[in-house]
Amino acid sequence: MSFQKLLFSLFINLCMMRLITNIDASTTTSQCLSHQQFMLLNMKHNLIYNPSKSTKLVHWNQSGVVDCCQWNGVSCNNGHVIGLDLSQESISGGLYNSSSLFNFEHLHSLNLAFNNFGSFIPSDIVKLKNLRHLNLSNAGFCGQIPKGIFQIQTLKTLDVSNNEELEGSLPEFPQHGQLDTLILSNTNFFGQLVSSISNLKQLSTLDLSNCQFNGTLPDSLSELTNLVHLDLSYNRFSGPLPSFNKSKNLQYLSLLQNELAGSILSTQWEELLNLCIINLGDNFFSGKIPKSLFTIPSLKEVTLSDNGFEGLLDEFQNATASTLELVDLSINKLEGPVPLSLFGLKRLSLLNLSSNKFNGTIHLDTIHKKLPYLRVLGLSNNKLSVEITDDDPSLSFFPNLTNVLLASCNLKKFPSFLKNQPKLFDLDLSNNLIQGPIPNWIWKFDSMVSLNLSNNLLTDLEGPLENPNSSLLMIDLHSNQIRGSIPYFTKYVVHLDFSNNEFSFIPPNIEKYLPFMFYLSLTNNSFHGKIPESFCNCSSIRMLDLSHNNFDGPIPKCLIARNNTLRLLNLAGNKLTGHIYDTIFSSTCNLRYLDLNANLLRGTIPNSLANCQKLEVLNLGNNSLSDEFPCFLGNITTLQVLVLRSNKLHGPIDCSHNTSHWKMLRVVDLASNKFVGTLPGKLLQSWTAMMDDGNYTKENGIYLYFNMYDFGHYIRYKDMLALINIAIVKRLAKIFANDPPYIFDDIAELGFTFGIGVIILPLIFWKKWRLWYWKHVDDLLWRIIPQLDFVYEQHGQHKYRTLRWISA
């Protein structure tokens, strides 16, 4: 979940804790009844918790406090326990129906948040007939939620968020339901949003974000007149957007990353005078953006990024009086000049117009005075020219800038005003016409995390390069003309792309300078000689691409031996000789992608390759390997691409003695060998993934996963941080401690795009070999697989950026 959503979740929990501890405070003077105290102690006895971290349970019946109504976390009314707050008590080991907890028949409020129960939610929870407030968030519950929990007639607040293994679906809600807060975010709830949701007339907060919901949004959603906070982001809702005009108190609306479509009309927003945040990003909305959206009097943030909005963006009135602080219209089809009224939003801190079709010239030195609070400026990948007439480094342009995204802006030199931006986190000047050396001042930003100078005409790096305080995690210099030794900048770097340059020297002991390296690409440079064994000592590396250089000699044994940590190893297009060592691939092999194509390797295909049970791409083509058809690889059920062309392989292609075959295999290239006999029909028929059914939707496409970090589709920032060394996590925490959440969200998304996260690639065949891939994975795969070209395609309401296979 994003940092912003985490803050909201914590806010809700704090409010509920306060409510539980203060409920009916005026009537808690009576002593608790003896049987109530007995049940509390019995419950404590049956709970497993950590006394050293407990601030409530550990003190019950101790320190001379006899009255259980005075115990921490306990609230009473007339001697009966009506409130229990056992949040953050380090409880583990499960909660069961036999617990005396469910015998507190007067209980109004129960808070078990921030524990680690690791069990189902007991069905006996429905015995708590008087329950009004129930908080089970972040508690480690799993399995099916008891459906009766929604039928507790007195229940007003239900929060089961952040239990990632908890699942269920929404029931039909009864008439006159009392729920005013329903939070199911970050769980495995699925199914449709039922139309009876409108029966919850008191509902003010509905958060179903980051679940598995699908289907169209019911029109009855517009009947929730008391709605204040609605978050349906990160699901698969489809269809048009219903009207929320009756929800006049609505302040927060997020439908981010769904499959909603259609246009948005000005009439949908006219009555929402209290709306502060609207996020419709990453959907399939189209048509024009109504200018009335920018004139909602209370609006602070509007995010419409990654949709299909098109046409001109109209000027709007009273921009200087607007409360807007964030405008993100990136990744759409907007065209024409950028409206001047956008530059009149004087409170603006984020303006991202990247990846549209805007044209014209933007003069930064004339707009910087109008936007004194601007922190994020995104103008990349349009048809814009960015100019700075008076580029005096002493001028204080945009004194608060943290993210500068000026890719493809026809820049011919480094903007000098950047020298005076000490808070820069993210700088993207890629795909411009900047030539000459990279100035040394660009390495001196202590807070910079990401730097992209790729696709320019840069030739050298101006020294000195040292900055012991540097926080750079990602550096992309690919596709320039930089010569000499590869530089090293900071020990925190996790992603380095120096591909498509003229580097020729790798410094010794490279692991000392890059201890946290995850991704390193040196493809298509001028390196020669043996592959340095110092790469073997880079303990964190998962993607190593040394292809298309002039390396010679044998493949270092120690490099292949890193197959338990490496996910991608590409040594193609060199002059490597010798054998592929047979005993190197261990039973713990984690390789997904192995490319040794176009070398001078000889000998046999190693039998130990069968240990790589997660291998998806194997390319041994264009060598001098002499062996039979490798039927022993048939037990690798994940294999999707197998290239053995142009070797000296011989004998029949007969795997009839094998019980397992490559059912996921999509590409097989055996050309230019010495195979004999007939093609076995039974073997070909077992390659069922090649049987194209002509249906190319995102839902049923076959996905080729280059899963570098061993977690699934959904991007969870805590997963990312868990993979990065604790030193980097601490560094990030220090940098982003006082910054708004969108700053880190932007950097985190970039991190996943460039190798810190999951690379997802749908693989579909249609006329030619075509590799389709999902959103936010830019040209990383193109640099891994050079036979790919980009094409944009639209299928119905679904948009894809296509990677097309170019035949040799």
Q: Determine, yes or no, domain membership for 152.
A: yes
What is the reported pLDDT for 770?
23
- pLDDT reported for residue 388: 83
pLDDT band at 543 (very low <50, low <70, confident <90, very high): very high
| pLDDT (0 to 100) of residue 693 | 52
Q: Which two tokens stand for residue 374?
A: 């601007």
User: Does residue 775 lie within any of the structural domains?
Assistant: yes
How many other C-beta atoms lie within 10 A of the C-beta of residue 468?
A: 7
Residue 165 has pLDDT above 90, yes or no: yes
Per-residue confidence band for 769, with pLDDT thresholds at 50, 70 and 90 = very low
Terminal C-alpha separation, the chain = 43
Indicate the range of 276-285, 468-477, 685-694, 767-776 predicted with least confidence: 767-776
Answer with the one of 664, 692, 720 that is the final residue of a domain.
692
Average pLDDT estimate for 515-528: 92
Question: Same structural domain for residues 648 and 547?
Answer: yes
Total domain count, the chain: 3
pLDDT (0 to 100) of residue 110: 96
CB 782 within 8 A of CB 773: no
How far is residue 13's CA from residue 26's CA, in Å, rounded to a whole number? 23
pLDDT recorded at residue 444: 85
Residue 135 shares a structural domain with residue 37: yes
What does the pLDDT read at residue 763? 29
In one letter, which amino acid is 619?
N
What's the average model confidence in pLDDT over 455-477? 85
**SS3 call for 795:** strand
Q: Are residues 768 and 674 in the same domain?
A: no
Per-residue pLDDT tens over the stretch 602-627: 999 999 999 999 999 999 999 999 99
Phi, then psi, of 80 in degrees rounded to 5? -95, 140
Q: Which domain holds residue 609?
A: 527-692
The answer, yes or no, to whether the previous bond of 464 is cis (omega within 30 of 0) is yes
On the question of pLDDT at 557 being above 60, the answer is yes
The answer to whether residues 683 and 783 belong to one domain is no
Residue 735's pLDDT is 63
Q: What is the pLDDT of residue 250?
A: 96
Strands in 80-156 per DSSP E: 80-85, 91-92, 109-111, 133-135, 142-144
Q: Is the pLDDT of residue 771 over 80?
A: no
pLDDT tens, position by position, 322-335? 999 999 999 999 99
Mean pLDDT of 331-352: 95
Mean pLDDT of 557-575: 93
- Within a domain: 447: no
pLDDT of residue 649: 96
Greater model confidence, 280 or 99? 280
One domain for residues 688 and 543: yes
pLDDT of residue 394: 57
Picking from 228, 265, 251, the residue whose alpha carbon sits closest to that of residue 300 is 251
**Whether residue 146 is found in the same domain as residue 37:** yes
Is residue 257 in some structural domain? no
Mean pLDDT of the chain: 83
Could you tell me if residue 438 is inside a domain? no
pLDDT greater than 70 at residue 191? yes
704/176: higher pLDDT: 176
| pLDDT digits 0-9 by tens, 3-48 | 455 444 544 454 444 444 444 333 344 688 989 999 999 999 999 9
pLDDT score for 517: 85
Whether residue 425 is predicted with pLDDT greater than 80 in this model: the reply is yes
pLDDT of residue 805: 35
**Residues 735-741, mean pLDDT to the nearest whole number:** 62
For residues 550 and 681, state if they share a domain: yes
* CA-based radius of gyration for the chain: 30
Share of the chain above pLDDT 90, in %: 59
- Pair 668, 800 in one domain: no
Q: Looking at residue 588, which CATH number applies to its domain? A: 3.80.10.10
DSSP 134: E
Greatest mean pLDDT range, 58-72, 281-295, 746-760: 281-295
Amino acid 734: pLDDT: 64
Around Cβ 320, how many Cβ atoms within 10 Å?
11
- My answer on whether 683 and 793 are in the same domain is no
Rounded-to-integer distance, Cα 329 and Cα 314, Å: 13
* Domain finish residue from 660, 692, 724: 692
Residue 296 domain flag: no
Q: In the structure, what pLDDT confidence band is assigned to residue 738 with cuts at 50, 70 and 90?
A: low
**Residue 96 binned pLDDT confidence (cut-offs 50, 70, 90):** confident
pLDDT of 41 reads 92
Is residue 314 one of the residues assigned to a domain? no
Measure the CA–CA gap between 96 and 78, rounded to whole angstroms: 28
Last residue of a domain, one of 676, 692, 708: 692
- Are 630 and 767 in a shared domain? no
Question: 765 and 627, same structural domain?
Answer: no
Q: Residue 108 falls within a domain, yes or no? A: yes
User: Cβ-count burial of 743 within 10 angstroms (0-12 exposed, 13-18 middle, 19+ buried)?
Assistant: buried
Task: Of 87-96, 463-472, 687-696, give the lowest mean pLDDT range.
Answer: 687-696
Phi-psi region at 93: left, alpha or beta (left = phi > 0; alpha = psi -120 to 50) = left
3-state SS, residue 808: coil
Clarify whether residues 764 and 676 are in a common domain.
no
Residue with tokens 């997963």: 719
Rounded CA-CA distance 492/509 in Å is 16
